[in-house]
Structure 1
Amino acid sequence: MSVDQSDRPGPETGIEGWSCYTATPARSMALFEETRARRPVAHSDEHDGFHVLVRYDDVKEATADHETYSSEPQVLRPMLPRKPIPALEMDPPRHRTWRALFNNAVKPRTIRELEPLVRADIGRHIDSFIEDGHTDLVTSLAEPVPAEAICRLVGIDDELVPEIRELALAMFAAQGDPEEFGRRQAQFGAVTVREVHKRRAEPRDDYLTELGQADVEGRRLDDDDLVVLLAAFLGAGHHSTTSAMSSLIREVFSAPDILAGVRRDPAKIPAAVEEALRLRPPFYGFFRRAAKPVTVAEVAVGTGDDVYLGWAAANRDPAMFADPGEFRLDRDRNRHLSFGHGVHVCPGAPLARMELRVALEELLRRTPDLRIELAEPVYEFGGGDYAFLPALPVSFTPGTRLP
């Protein structure tokens, strides 16, 4: 088994001063471990104060209880001057109508139809560096592939993908600066909403056309609705999958026993995907607001209090996962919370899992001796509680392009 070699903790921020803006991902994980050992519920003074849940059972229960832990008004802090993200930042019954817009886009049939296209995209990107013998897999594979998949899903033309990807990255990177975020969101919207307007004038057989014709809550979607909807697609389907893909590649190819295991039995690749998601969740957690008083492990949470649901902490709770810091291919029923839980579970999870599986399959096939040229993973926070590897340098025996 391969023991997780976490990046070293950063500055000595205590849990009382913790947020993704005051600590590195490594320091955050260390604080979660220290907190769980001392007390199950902590409190941070950041963002006007919030409770921090770190135990698996507490986080899962809160994630499933929307009547107590509301996703409104927003699930990230600080609060931004924007409309709620459809479905994600809405509670039932309103949530159901908006969630249907996402469910209609990501159906099992859609995933099956997209898989050969995603495999072809991955092959094309591998072709772009296969003769070099080295590359940074974040920029050459993990960033473009999820963006292309989401753009294919909604019907954005290939030539627009690079521009939209860059606009989305800039928007999410400005998450902590309300003024800058608003400016970046307007730039993102100017391009993406224009595409919906085009579909209204000239309909196609694609999801953008469906959005252009959709009525929700008795009205047609306006431009502000469309901006946040499309940002949600790009955020959930691109940003987070980029992080997960980088982590999966790093975890598998840096551990000889894990690498040998998936080579020997490719049926274990899905297990590797789930372990990477558990150990390295793209989002460390989301916020909720208490809609009524509740007590968690003898700690009183008052109405209106903010509560942080620590998915990353829950995913390494030894009460739920044996050897929680290890990457194990034999882990049964890996019930990690990296896609959330309850009514707000990520609708794009099947698409992300498919992309991760296919990327690993193709790298194993075409770069079998790939080596990670990164001694330890150094994750950063960007755009809220999103954790990512900024680079993943690798080397391998040069190969040939596909005919």
Structure 2
Amino acid sequence: MSRPPFWGLPPSRQARRQGPKSNKLSDVAYDPWSPGFVADPYPAFERLRNERPVFFHEPTGQWVITRYEDVDALLRDRRLGRSYLHVGGHEEFGQQPEAEFLKPFWDLIRAGMLDVEPPTHTRLRRLVSKAFTARMVEGLRPMVRALAEELAAGLAAKGGGDLVAEIAEPLPVNVIAEMLGVPASDRDLLRPWSADICGMYELNPSEENQRIAVRAAVEFSGYLRELARSRRAEPRDDLISALAQVVDEGDRLSEDELIGTCVLLLNAGHEATVNTTANGWWSLFRNPGELARLRADHGLIPTAVEELMRYDTSAPMFERWVLEDIRIGGVDIPRGAEVALQFASANRDPAVFADPDRLDLARDPNPHITFGLGIHYCLGAPLARIELNESYGAILRAAPALKLAVEPEWKPGFVLRGLESLQVEV
């Protein structure tokens, strides 16, 4: 079926690439549209790592890569890219031109750094990093802690509720809104816009979801454009003002680039943090011994956060385009192909992680690749770690006896993998 690749390349894939016939047993095991696979992909990944660590999956037209060593190598390999448009057109890469109605969406996404390659990526990351500094991010910790404690106290006062709606969703969206300088009165707009835009990142989105994403992109970019112009005229102590003012050797972000960066910060930082929070608590409930260990020693929170990100990865698959012929795991993959790098599988690879299917909140070392590697390593990783550490700490303090009320169900998507809700009692 036609579908847009993860971070924004051509949405039409009617011309399917040719690849070798796949191992049929492995094809059955790997089914990113199956609710059973979404709920627990790890037995399938174990089988694939052993049987066919590199194979062509005909339904998606992708080469599926499952071993840590191979995923690690390809994330660092400059013969692959998030985009191919800097080296060739759609036709050259066997893709149909993008539908005209999608232009506002891709214009917005490609104005940020995530979907571009050097030298454009290098320039954008350099400029953004001058404003989005480690010192600035660490300075947000008191605000993050206060908000996490307020949300956790609210959940405890109610006797429980949906941890996703009560804490996991509002914490990161409010943190990013505060950081950007979005007025409190407008913050309820951000979560729907983010969710609608991210609907395009899933495998095979419907035309209806594509049009919903376009509408959200138009509305969100229009809102940010007005906000950015007001901050250029009257700067404040927020990231939009800093991005509007940043200059490096005479270079600065264009208005479109500033808006694309802000959208990226919300979408990439928000969606993954929401799912990591809820997925992590679901993992703790399924491993009561480790939950008891964490309750007894809050000093484990930093390593627990790293282990929970490894154990049940909330963004389990990232895609890359092959810009030059490569050979990986003894398999030749041609230029123009697309690879699906299975982060969740790599994070359970026994070649790197001892007893990988066991949750160990004190695991050290823990070289998980949840934030990626190479030039596209997640710029927001330090902020995500602060949010997760403060969130888990606040919940453990406010609701020390937190327990599961109803077994959760997974959302249907695999690329951004999370729970519909997580009903808890205190």
The within-5 A match list for 1:271-290 is: 271-290=303-322
What is the distance in 2 between the residues matched to 1:239 and 1:228?
16
Aligned residues: 379
Q: Kindly indicate whether the alpha-carbon contact (under 8 Å) linking 2:131 and 2:243 is maintained by their aligned counterparts in 1.
A: no
Aligned AA for 2:179? Answer: L
1:52 to 2:82 alignment = no
TM-score, normalised with respect to structure 2: 0.81
Q: 1:116 aligns to what SS in structure 2?
A: helix
Higher mean C-alpha displacement, 232-241 vs 15-24:
15-24
1:71 to 2:82 alignment = yes
Equivalent of 1:31, from 21, 35, 44? 44
What is the distance in 1 between the residues matched to 2:53 and 2:184?
48
Aligned to 2:88: none
What is the distance in 2 between the residues matched to 1:264 and 1:17?
39
Q: Kindly indicate whether the alpha-carbon contact (under 8 Å) linking 1:98 and 1:216 is maintained by their aligned counterparts in 2.
A: no
Decide whether aligned partners of structure 1 residues 171 and 152 sit closer, same or farther in structure 2, where only a CA change above 3 A counts.
same
1:189 to 2:221 alignment = yes
Distance apart, 1:306 and its partner CA: 0.8
Equivalent of 2:423, from 377, 380, 393? 393
TM-score, normalised with respect to structure 1: 0.86
Higher mean C-alpha displacement, 137-146 vs 108-117:
108-117
Query: 1:55-81 CA distances to partner (integer Å, 9 max, x unpaired)?
Result: 00000010011x21112149xx99864
Equivalent of 2:185, from 159, 167, 172? 159
Aligned to 1:118: 144
Distance apart, 1:232 and its partner CA: 0.8
Distance apart, 1:361 and its partner CA: 1.0
1:228 to 2:244 alignment = no
Decide whether aligned partners of structure 1 residues 120 and 146 sit closer, same or farther in structure 2, where only a CA change above 3 A counts.
same
- The gaps in structure 2 that reach 5 residues or longer are 1-23, 86-94
The within-5 A match list for 1:2-401 is: 15=27, 20-21=32-33, 24-26=37-39, 28-47=41-60, 49-65=61-77, 67-73=78-84, 81=103, 82-83=106-107, 84=110, 86-175=112-201, 176=205, 177-214=209-246, 221-222=253-254, 224-375=256-407, 378-382=409-413, 385-396=415-426
Aligned AA for 2:62? Answer: F
Q: Kindly indicate whether the alpha-carbon contact (under 8 Å) linking 1:155 and 1:206 is maintained by their aligned counterparts in 2.
A: yes
Query: 1:237-260 CA distances to partner (integer Å, 9 max, x unpaired)?
Result: 111101111122222344332122
Decide whether aligned partners of structure 1 residues 19 and 154 sit closer, same or farther in structure 2, where only a CA change above 3 A counts.
farther
What is the distance in 2 between the residues matched to 1:203 and 1:95?
26
Distance apart, 1:180 and its partner CA: 3.1
Q: Kindly indicate whether the alpha-carbon contact (under 8 Å) linking 1:164 and 1:192 is maintained by their aligned counterparts in 2.
A: no
Distance apart, 1:36 and its partner CA: 1.3
Distance apart, 1:268 and its partner CA: 1.2
- The gaps in structure 1 that reach 5 residues or longer are 1-11, 397-403
Distance apart, 1:277 and its partner CA: 0.4
What is the distance in 2 between the residues matched to 1:247 and 1:343?
27
Distance apart, 1:301 and its partner CA: 0.6
What is the distance in 2 between the residues matched to 1:373 and 1:104?
45
Identity score, percent: 31
Distance apart, 1:166 and its partner CA: 2.0
Q: Kindly indicate whether the alpha-carbon contact (under 8 Å) linking 2:38 and 2:410 is maintained by their aligned counterparts in 1.
A: yes
